[in-house]
Amino acid sequence: MKSKQMPRLALNVVAIAIASAYPLVSMAEDAVSNEKAVPTTVNKAESAPAELSEVTVNAKVEPKADGYQATKTRVGKVLQDPQDIPQAITTVTNQLMHDQQVGSLREALRNVSGLTFNAAEGGRAGDNFNLRGFYTFGDIYLDGIRDTAQYNRETFNLEQVDVLRGSAAMLFGRGQAGGVINQVSKMAELNDKNTVTGSLGNYDYHQFTGDFNKQLTETAAIRVNVMDRHEETYRTNPSDGDHPETDRKGIALSFGAGIGTNNELFLNHIYTQTRDVPDFGIRFDTDHRPLSNSTNGRSDKTFWGNSDNFDDSDTRVTTGIFTHKFSEDTQLRTQLRQADYKRGYWAKTPGTVLPTEDNKIGGNVTRKMHYETLNLQSDFSTKLELGGMKHEILAGLEYLKEENYRNSLQPINPLTGQAYTQTGAALNTAIAVNGVTYNRHLASLTAIPAKFDADNYAVYLQDTVEFVKDWKLLFGIRRDELRADYSSATSPKLSYGENSYRTGLSWQPTPATHYYAAWSDSFSPTADLYQLTVAPQPPERSKTLELGTKWLFLDGDLAFRTALYTSTKDWERNTDLESTSAILTKKRRTNGLELEATGKVTEDWEIFAGISFMDAEILEVAENVNATTGNITVADARFKGQRPRNTPAATFNFWTTYNLTSAWKIGGGVEAKGTRTAYQPSAANGGTAFAGTGFHPNYAPGYARVDAMFAYEQPKWALRLNVKNLLDKEYYDAVYDNGGLVTPGNRRQAIITTEYKF
């Protein structure tokens, strides 16, 4: 591997960019100082007794922050109003995350209908979601750049989270059918504002955040965001009293020069650290339900892990963004990013008997990973008239370099420093040396690690043509080329090229109404990052057809949208990097209907609500290649016609706040999901899903979680109480969809937050 070359290259580029920033600041200052303000002159009337002097007014208008309704997004590669995009978009705004006391990306996405959570197993851990029933592990982005590493993301530095639904490979490259989750970072602004918050709650919850922005010159500013958060859950290991823990810290810096001018530069860096005690949930009982009311004392409260388990990660992402405006309608925006993701975890899987003090080492899932990327992305956009028609053109190119290392961990003997080679029952016993018990002594396995080195190239072009008044036709095409080398003996190389398309027809008779029909596709030779099999298999292909409407009511304060869609995926892949049963289904489909409302009903009443209905079905069962014989193996034919895993028939979310007075505010909401199944659809004999008669897979029952908020807010300070899971319900929010595990959500939790602005 060439892992040291990318950081050096990225540091050199960042150093050059920083050096370039100072001339830009100076140029911007000169431009501002030489620019003459437009005078406002009041001329005297002939009969006036005195002549009025010339008055020059210089005013800076502060931009109005979004509430629950987003008014801008860059998820379509250029800055747009979501109302104008012919595709379903859900945006979780900073104000919504603020009012709900959201700390993680996962918590923020509870507000997105049609989205479910996957539990950590099967070779993939960290943020792991399903959208419209399809995986999104290759579709998480940060400011429009791929952010697919396996780690847990925080929201302290996010302005908003945009969810673009449906196939989106033309805009973003390889991906899945469900859509794209794009995190939008907080950027330096031309003002002085600072906010600090401190929070305390039960389950040892405590959090500190700080958001500090300083204007340096007329066109330059710096912004720093910091976070420190810790919390536990109600689940306890009965043998030692240990709990799952979340322990995370972060710092993010943004420096901007030439802000608001024709040459704008931002340099951003974010570092996040996690030191969690992971929770792999509980197993299902013989009735295919979670073990919540079983014998031997097992229940949803039982935690099989302990404080010797860990999930440690260190994430560093450095980005330079330069935008040159040729005119108000024409600009070139270029981003360069170097990212480094390190992670190691040792998690205890749940058992069928109660955990004991001696059962701390065996039965674990372990991983050590190091993933590095270097990404260059450049977008050119312009508006023009050609052939008597208005055109909005987007063209771009992208290069992505990836280097990845992955291995497992095992115990070491603290006396010798060598691998602890005992197996079986011996691994379930802590190591005692001179009267001291050792549990958390780990080393990489001596096995050959899984590695790859990949180069990705892409070019794309899109045009939106207003061919008659109020009618627009969009068409886009993208070409991706991928070249990769692997440590795998069976699949040492990947060479792949693919086209992706996007088209849509829009009718916008008024600024407040938009009717559209859109079609898009996506492809992926990937599962974890790339899919390798013992014999070449076709890539995943996804196609989405969507009919939608978008309306604005109450002078634009309330947005309402609907979307009716059908998404089909061919050759659905497993989550593991290399597997002899990599294909999960040969063809599956989700037909769905979504409705969403966001914004203000009155000046004091604001809502954020969505409901999603999903009719999902396996159309053709999996076909895989036997690693030994090379023969084709076919999954149980009875899987055809069944509902796919972790795809509930309906999900619903609702959140609302109301200003009782100028200072007092109340709020609350509900997040609900229907029953979600969990099974292995590539099994040749159906596994336990067809035990007895009919189809009886493991399942997580549907639930509805109620939250509440009460706040007292002043211009400089605020006090807020959030109660999550107000009714103290037992519920299961994350499903390991291969069928083994389900993770309970936390019980009632009260959090009080103080906020000070200066």
Nearest by Cα to 182 from 249, 121, 251, 108? 108
349 three-class SS: coil
Rounded to the nearest integer, the mean pLDDT of the chain is: 85
Q: What is the DSSP letter of 63?
A: P
Mean pLDDT of 232-243: 92
From start to end of 601-697, where are the E strands? 605-621, 623-625, 632-634, 650-659, 664-673, 676-678
Nearest by Cα to 161 from 193, 131, 119? 131
The pLDDT value recorded for residue 31 is 39
Give the contacts of 77 (CB within 8 A, at least 6 positions apart).
144, 171, 379, 381, 394, 396, 462
The pLDDT value recorded for residue 177 is 87
494 three-class SS: strand
Side chain identity at residue 481, one-letter code: E
Read off the pLDDT of residues 64-110 as tens digits, 9 standing for 90 and up.
557 999 999 999 899 999 999 999 999 999 999 999 999 999 999 99
Mean pLDDT of 493-507: 91
Please check the confidence at residue 654 and state whether its pLDDT lies above 50. Answer: yes
Nearest by Cα to 123 from 735, 577, 446? 577
What percent of the chain is modeled with pLDDT above 70? 81
Give the contacts of 300 (CB within 8 A, at least 6 positions apart).
235, 282, 290, 291, 292, 730, 732, 744
Read off the pLDDT of residues 146-180 as tens digits, 9 standing for 90 and up.
998 889 999 999 999 999 999 888 898 888 889 99
Nearest by Cα to 172 from 296, 75, 55, 283? 75
Read off the pLDDT of residues 656-703 as tens digits, 9 standing for 90 and up.
999 999 999 999 999 999 999 999 898 888 878 887 778 989 999 999
**Exposure of 10 in the CB half-sphere (CA atoms within 13 A):** 26
Domains, the chain, ranges and CATH? 82-408+447-757 (2.40.170.20)
The pLDDT value recorded for residue 123 is 53
| pLDDT-derived band at 725, boundaries 50, 70, 90 | very high
Residue at token pair 């999900």: 651
What percent of the chain is modeled with pLDDT above 90? 61
Buried residues in 735-745 as b, exposed as e (16+ CB within 10 A): bbbbbbbbbbb
Which region, left, alpha or beta, applies to residue 77 given φ > 0 means left and ψ of -120 to 50 means alpha? Answer: left
Give me the torsion for CA of 375, 372, 162, 650, rounded to 10°: 140
The pLDDT value recorded for residue 56 is 46
Nearest by Cα to 367 from 261, 457, 442, 470? 442
What is the Cα–Cα distance from 545 to 167, expressed in whole angstroms? 9
What is the Cα–Cα distance from 54 to 474, expressed in whole angstroms? 50
Read off the pLDDT of residues 513-535 as tens digits, 9 standing for 90 and up.
999 999 999 888 654 455 566 67
Please check the confidence at residue 264 and state whether its pLDDT lies above 80. Answer: yes
- Residues in a beta bridge with 371: 341, 404
Please check the confidence at residue 25 and state whether its pLDDT lies above 60. Answer: no
Please check the confidence at residue 19 and state whether its pLDDT lies above 80. Answer: no
Both tokens of residue 525?
A: 């030779």
Q: CB of 238 within 8 A of CB of 354?
A: yes
The pLDDT value recorded for residue 579 is 57
The pLDDT value recorded for residue 254 is 98
HEC string of 167-222 equals CCHHHHCCCCCCEEEEEEECCCCCCCEEEEEEEEECCCEEEEEEEEEEECCCCCEE
Cβ atoms within 10 A of the Cβ of 334, count? 16
| pLDDT-derived band at 39, boundaries 50, 70, 90 | very low
Residue at token pair 């929070």: 199
Q: CB of 282 within 8 A of CB of 736?
A: no
What is the Cα–Cα distance from 147 to 319, expressed in whole angstroms? 12
Mean pLDDT of 291-296: 59
What is the Cα–Cα distance from 561 to 90, expressed in whole angstroms? 10
Mean pLDDT of 251-271: 98
Please check the confidence at residue 209 and state whether its pLDDT lies above 50. Answer: yes
What is the Cα–Cα distance from 430 to 438, expressed in whole angstroms? 6
Please check the confidence at residue 280 and state whether its pLDDT lies above 80. Answer: yes
Please check the confidence at residue 366 and state whether its pLDDT lies above 70. Answer: yes
Q: Is 688 exposed, middle or buried (0-12, 13-18, 19+ CB in 10 A)?
A: middle
Read off the pLDDT of residues 590-626 as tens digits, 9 standing for 90 and up.
999 999 999 999 999 999 999 999 999 999 999 988 8
Give the contacts of 431 (CB within 8 A, at least 6 positions apart).
411, 413, 414, 420, 437, 438, 439, 441
